[in-house]
Amino acid sequence: MIRIPNIPESVVVKHGPKAWPLGLAGAGLLIIGSLLSWSFDPQVLGDLSISFNPGALQIMAIAQSVLAIILLLADKGPLTSFGEWADTALALRALATWALLFMALVLVAITVEAGGLVNIEPGGWISFLGAVLVFASSRLVLPRETRDLGHARLPDWSEILVIVILMAAILFGTAFALGLTDAWEFVLFLMVVTGVLITGVRAGLLTWLGHVTTRHKRVLMLAAFAVAFLFPFTQNGSDANMSIASQVLIFAAAAMGLNIVVGLAGLLDLGYIAFLGAGAYVGATMSTSAFATIGWKPPFIVVMLVGGCVSATLGLIIGAPTLRVSGDYLAIVTLGFGEIFRLTMFNLDGNNGPNLTHGPNGVPAIPDLTFGSFNFGDTHTLLGIPLARFSNYYFLLLLLIAFIILVFSRLNNSRIGRGWVAIREDEKAAEAMGVNVFGLKILAFVVGAFLAGLAGTIKAHQDVSVTPDQYIFLESAFLLAAIVLGGMGTVAGVLIGAVILKLLPEKLRFFADYRLLLFGLLLVLMMRFRPEGLVASRRRQLEFHEEDEELAVRVEGDIAEVVI
Amino acid sequence: MGIFDQQNLDTFVQQLVNGLTLGSLYALIAVGYTVVYGILQLINFAHGEIFMIGAFGALSTSLVLFRGQTALWVLPFMIIGAIIASVGTAVLMERFAYRPLRHAPRLAPLITAIGISVFLQELVRLNYNHVPFTSWNPFNLPDAKSRIPFPQIDVVTGPAFQIGGVTIQRSAIFTIGALLMCAALLWYFINRTKTGRGMQAVSQDADTARLMGINVDRIIVVAFAHGAVLAGIAGVAQGLQNNNIDFRMGFLAGLKAFTAAVLGGIGNIQGAVVGGLVLGVAEGMATQYIPGQFGGSPWKDVWAFVLLILVLVFRPQGLLGAKAVDRA
Amino acid sequence: MTVTAEAVGAKAPTGVPLLQAEGVIMRFGGLTAVNNVTMSVSEGEIVGLIGPNGAGKTTFFNCLTGMYKPTEGHVRLSGVELPPKPRAVVKAGMARTFQNIRLFANMTALENVMVGRYCRTSSGAFTSIVHGPKFRREEAETRERAQELLDFVGLGTSTDHLARNMPYGNQRRLEIARALATDPKLILLDEPTAGMNPLETRQASDLIFKIRDSGLAVVVIEHDMRFIFNLCDRVLCLVRGETLVEGTPDEVQSDPRVIEAYIGTGTDDDDEAGDTP
């Protein structure tokens, strides 16, 4: 039997049988309380003041209690066959802890926003009591030995169904979260999501999901893209969220390109933003803007290729020192190149060298893209839903991201990808086994730069203007942070990192000011506690934990699975 | 017109003086990179921020304790304030950010350094003039989001000396003097004291030094503190020279000082001093003598970065030779 | 020296010199680690390289494989001068293992061997991205060949094991499989039995015979005398960077200078008896 921390064993043994009814009662109270009014003031946190008409936060509370009931019934009751696999006791503990935190924060929020504890109606207190009871019961439930969920298999159709449901949840969850205008509500929703995710991890369900998704990779990819494609249709023509979403995609595209250099080839590039900038400047100077300095105006697809190639050429130049330099020094060299790029763009204003970029003023008034008669600036209606300017760019960027993901994952799973791993592991040995170390490093730089260049040309049109101060060192650091946070060498990780780093500052005004401060702290903490990132590449995880033998044994199966 | 006519010579000497002043500043900061590298083989890229924090430490001392005072006796207090701030930051940084990563892959400390760098800059930018999360500003400190005027001190600032056609700022003399004194003290410390010899031992072979009873952790802290002392003094010098400071000043200065450290052979303290001076003079001369559109001050940082890259690529062992060569 | 050289000529199985190293000298500053060593290896031959610690055996290997650029001397494979670049040397047909195992620890056994195929495949970025016919063909071939080689060295069942999780002896085998994956004509093994028990050592020599029988030449650095004298057609003894003796195992074994070199360095570092006459 596994000993429970915090509570003496004697208490657990004596009161253990009460856990189950206690938990059900608590969950029931939580639901009843959530159906009643929480707050006197209808102005705060959406509207929580009308009984039997639950607001968003109350629905979240109900969802948590339903989940708690399911876990309790899986522990003992009609769902025990599910309980055999999942570790319901640990899951319940995580869920109850987060639900209690959630309720406590809700009460704090009402108090702060409406001005005083008196604004809390009995319903709020009942729900809080319910959360406390569930929490108490979760501490008394005994963990049991469970079967390994890694071996659990459902029929294919139901596994695919799980993926589809998951994706749908992500779609509506994201749309819902972006719709929340109140920072408190947004934070509370994030808390619920985090709580549910941790509950899933504790139950072992996430591991199982990991296996399911590797078994049905294609389905997952298709579903993910379908969700991303459907997203603008959930916005009812509002372009505010689409503006954020397309910013996220540009950022993610660049981060993914950087991930080839950092995550796959293991080279630290601190000047990567220059490649995005090079693409953007090509896009700007070859656009039909009145301030564009290059007379040639080919179709945009050609401009994109030119942008990619110019960027790739820069990548070649920046990558060339890898022949002689590696490690920290290489990072500084790339940083130097990045700064040289920015300063050069700043200086080429006609007074200090030829006029190419209009110096600090940059190239403004870049017109929207047009493909034939399709103008990206116009609102188009599809299936009765209006899709405005940023939605148009969003779709284009989605295509680009799909292409980048394809390049990333195919290179990773090829002879070239194996070469990169070998270089990361032991450069000398790789060279001695005939791997073209220098060539592969350069290739990483060139491919990464090319992809960023493509993204840059679109960015120029989307942002309307291009100026040197968009391409400072901090932006490179930001891209790097997305990778570090999300996970080096994984696609999902970078997407998650990009979303977190770009979305949170937009939604939380407090965050916006402290964005960089928190971001700096985040880098330090990630390196200290989880250097491989949130969604870790198994191999990267191993590399960062050289001495962890137990981990190496545990993930062995996963590595082989990924490769094949 | 001959090359050696009086005006050309004056210009040359002027740039030499400017370069040496700038170089002294670089040298003071560069020592910090080199000392830590010599012991840990770690490049502390957040060292530039230590320099920035030093300048703010001096500023705070002056504003909180001696507001409006310009007498010379304030200067030592400002220097002490700078040193307390920079050493405190450096020690905390070592303890909480770098120490846990001693055996991590090389990527980890580098990314940590970037994180620390951004964190410290933002901390100063956002919170210099009030206690975090409040608007309480007990000492009426200025907002650090823009440049802040640095207090001027009698004797050390003021009218420049004019020798022939060459102008020498008083603060330049302070900077160069500070470098000479620090270099001498550092040399004495490393070669003549027990702790200094401990540092040498650890830089030779940390494991053996540990077996010989040297407290390696302590030595590492001492190394960080040393770099910080010099960076703090450099912060004061920079403030006196430019008349103002801002939260971004550490980034470029740090990078240039790092170039100086590499130029002199990283890990080599004399090298850092020589490298700093060489870089400063090179920068001064480049500003003056690179002709045409790509010369002059708009391009001076570009040339500095070009030099940085050339040094790293073609002479990573530096002018005087580095302690360790393999940077893989 | 002349005597032993003649003996070699008489014993060379096919008489075609595959590897010729002539007058290789390697100096590090004032230290001469390898001094004028000449060695030739014929097809299908197993040559042993012995010598006390610090005799320059591994340095000599590094010179042969292009890890070091010899200060002086030539290395030829099948009559063609080898450039001092490891990659070119592998491509030319000479692969090696390392004294302190240098596997790609976080890759599986199969992946490790597949990396060895790198220099014999040429799928570029483009075909890899579009999964062109060349990519598909090479990828399938690489996988198949790697699995064959794992079977060959007796690791057929450890395909998906991480290299770092494998037992020591298997890591040595895996390193050999990885080297074999480069399709070498000649393989250099740096202490393949270091740290092994007698059973593993015997298995290792079986494996080396098997490699020889498949048509490769082998050069082995070893400390284990019994192992080397059972295994090799010819043995070269290095002392202080110079060739002390070269000949058949019997000749070398009975040469008093070899015994003296080993015992001499064991008791007195300043013993000069190791010098060639």
Examine the domain organization and report whether A306 and A421 are in the same domain: yes
pLDDT at site A150: 63
Long-range CB pairs of C207-216 (<8 Å, 24+ gap) are C207/C153, C207/C154, C207/C173, C207/C176, C208/C46, C209/C46, C210/C152, C211/C176, C211/C180, C211/C187, C212/C44, C212/C45, C212/C46, C215/C43, C215/C44, C216/C44, C216/C180, C216/C184, C216/C185, C216/C186, C216/C187
On whether residue A541 sits in a domain, the answer given is: no
Best probe of the C interface among A405, A407, A412, A415, by most C CBs < 10 A, is A415
Identify whether A436 is part of a domain.
yes
Judge contact between C222 and C253, C-beta under 8 A. Answer: no
In the listed set A204, A230, A256, which residue is the last one of a domain according to the structure? A230
Tokens of C188: 């250099």
Q: Is B292 exposed, middle or buried (0-12, 13-18, 19+ CB in 10 A)?
A: exposed
**Which pLDDT score, from 0 to 100, does residue A83 have?**
66
Residue C147 pLDDT > 60: yes
The verdict on A215 and A279 lying in the same domain is: no
Is it the case that residue C6 has pLDDT exceeding 60? Answer: no
Q: Tell me: pLDDT of A257 over 60.
A: yes
Report how far residue A267's alpha carbon sits from residue B316's, in angstroms, rounded to the nearest whole number. 18
Contact between B230 and B185 under an 8 Å Cβ cutoff? The reply is: no
* Whether residue C2 has pLDDT greater than 70: no
In this predicted structure, the answer to whether residue C275 has a pLDDT above a threshold of 60 is no
**Chain B contact set for A528 (CB, 8 A):** 97, 100-101, 112
Closest CA to A248 of A228, A274, A233: A228
Nearest residue, CB atoms, B110 vs list A268, A325, A336: A268
If interface means Cβ-Cβ distance under 8 Å, which residues of chain C face chain A? 65, 67, 86-87, 90-91, 95-96, 98, 102-108, 110-111, 114-121, 123-125, 128-129, 131, 135, 138-139, 142, 159-162, 164-165, 178-179, 182
Chains B and A touch (3+ CB pairs under 8 A): yes
CA C74 and chain centroid, separation:
18
In a domain, A542, yes or no: no
Give this prediction's pTM. Answer: 0.85
Please give the Cα distance from C186 to C217 (Å, whole number): 5
First to last CA, chain B: 52
Q: Taking chain B (328 residues) in consecutive chunks of 10 residues, what is each chunk's mean pLDDT?
A: 71 89 94 89 90 94 87 91 96 92 83 91 88 77 87 82 85 91 90 88 85 88 93 94 90 89 86 91 83 75 86 81 44
User: Are residues A13 and A105 both part of a single domain?
Assistant: yes
Together in a domain, A208 and A355:
no
pLDDT at C57 over 80: yes
* H/E stretch holding A352: none
Estimate the share of chain B in helix, then strand, then coil, as percent rounded to the nearest 5.
Answer: 70, 5, 30
Structure confidence at residue A511 as a pLDDT band (50, 70, 90)? low
What pLDDT is recorded for position B106?
76
Whether residues A144 and A252 share a domain: the answer is no
CB contacts of B328 in chain A (<8 Å) are 326-327, 427
Q: Is residue A78 part of a domain?
A: yes
pLDDT of residue A310: 94
Q: Buried b / exposed e across A423-444, counting CB within 10 Å, b at 16+?
A: bbbbbebbbbbbbbbbebbbbb
Residue A564 covered by a domain = no
Beta-carbon pairs below 8 A across chains A and C = 125
SS (H, E, C) A71-86: HHHHHCCCCHHHHCCC
> Are A369 and A510 found together in one domain?
yes
- In a shared domain, residues A258 and A218: no
Segment C83-103, tens digit of pLDDT: 888 999 999 999 999 988 999
Residue-averaged pLDDT of chain A: 83
Statement to judge: residues A337 and A191 lie in one domain? no
Q: Which residues of A touch B107 (CB under 8 A)?
A: 266, 268, 531
Chain A residues within 8 Å of chain C (Cβ atoms): 406-407, 410-411, 414-416, 418-419, 421-422, 425-426, 428-437, 443, 447, 539, 542-543, 549, 552-553, 556-557, 559-560, 563
Please compute the mean of the pLDDT values over residues C238-263 and round it to a whole number. 85
Contacts of B321 (CB under 8 A, 6+ apart): B265, B268, B271
Identify the pLDDT of residue C266. Answer: 46
Query: From A405, which residue of chain C is nearest by alpha-carbon distance?
Result: C129
> Quick check: C159 and C188 in contact, CB under 8 A?
no
Report how far residue A525's alpha carbon sits from residue C183's, in angstroms, rounded to the nearest whole number. Answer: 47
Over range A174-194, report the average pLDDT.
Answer: 82
Phi, psi of A121 (to 5 degrees): -85, 165
Please report, as a single letter, which amino acid is at residue C256. P
Q: What is the pLDDT of residues A214-224, one digit of tens each?
A: 778 788 888 88
CB contact under 8 A, C107 and A431: no
- Which amino acid type is present at position A401? I
Q: CB distance from A339 to chain B under 8 Å?
A: yes
Backbone dihedral region for residue A45 (phi beyond 0: left; psi -120 to 50: alpha; all else: beta): left
Is the CB of residue A333 less than 8 Å away from at least one CB of chain B? yes
Between A378 and C182, where is the model more confident? C182
Q: Which of A321, A521, A544 sits opposite B119 (nearest CB)?
A: A521
Residue where a domain terminates, one of A193, A209, A230: A230
Do A306 and A388 sit in the same domain of this protein?
Answer: yes
A269, A322, A352, A537: best mutation site toward chain B, by most B Cβ within 10 Å? Answer: A352
Q: Which of B180, B174, B178, B179 is nearest to B160 (CA)?
A: B174
Looking at residue A142, its pLDDT comes to: 73
- Indicate the number of domains in chain A: 2
Q: How far is B206 from chain A (nearest CA, A)?
A: 20
Q: How many helices (H) and strands (E) does chain A have?
A: 23, 4
The answer to whether position A320 is within a domain reads: yes
Residue A177 — very low, low, confident or very high, per pLDDT cuts 50/70/90? confident
The per-residue pLDDT for B229 is: 95
Torsion over CA: A514, A517, A518, A519 (sign)? positive
Query: Which of A326, A336, A520 is facing B327, going by the closest CB pair?
Result: A326
- Same domain assignment for residues A331 and A344: yes
Residue A281, domain extent: 235-533
Q: What is the pLDDT of residue C89?
A: 92
Q: At what angle do helices B74-93 and B47-65 cross, to 10 degrees?
A: 140
Say if CB C121 and CB A415 are below 8 A apart.
yes
Residues in C closer than 8 angstroms to A544, CB to CB, are: none
CB–CB of A250/A462 below 8 Å? yes
% of chain A at pLDDT higher than 70: 92
Please determine, for residue A369, whether its predicted confidence score (pLDDT) is greater than 70: yes
Q: What is the pLDDT of residues A124-173, one digit of tens each?
A: 888 888 888 888 888 887 776 666 666 667 777 888 888 888 888 888 88
What pLDDT shows up at residue A3? 43
Q: Which two tokens stand for residue C106?
A: 């976080």
Among chain A residues, the shortest Cα distance to B296 is held by: A352
- Cα–Cα distance, B238 to B254 (Å, whole number): 13
Question: Which chain A residue has the Cα nearest residue C99?
Answer: A429
- Give the pLDDT score at A559: 58
Cβ contact (<8 Å) for C164 and A552?
yes
Least confident span in A46-60, A168-182, C67-81:
A46-60
**Same-domain status, A166 and A215:** yes
Please tell me the predicted confidence (pLDDT) of residue A107: 84
Smallest Cα–Cα separation from A45: which of A132, A113, A142, A115? Answer: A113
Given this model, what pLDDT does residue A331 score? 87
Q: What is the pLDDT of residue A557?
A: 63
Q: How many residues does chain C have?
A: 277
Q: What does the mean pLDDT of chain C come to?
A: 84
A285 and A398 belong to one structural domain: yes
Query: Any idea which residue has 């007498």 for tokens?
Result: B71
Question: What single-letter amino acid sits at C275?
Answer: D
Mean pLDDT calculated for residue range A282-310? 85
Q: What is the pLDDT of residues A400-416, one digit of tens each?
A: 999 999 999 899 999 99
Of A329, A514, A546, the CB nearest to B316: A329
Q: For residue A543, give the chain B residue with the closest CA.
A: B105
DSSP state of A501: H
State the complex-level ipTM. Answer: 0.87
User: What is the pLDDT, as a whole number, of residue A564?
Assistant: 30
Rounded Cα distance, C198 and C195, in Å: 10
Instruction: Give the pLDDT confidence of A517-562 residue by residue, as tens digits.
Output: 888 888 898 888 888 887 777 777 887 777 777 777 777 666 554 4
- CA-based nearest distance C162→chain A, Å: 6
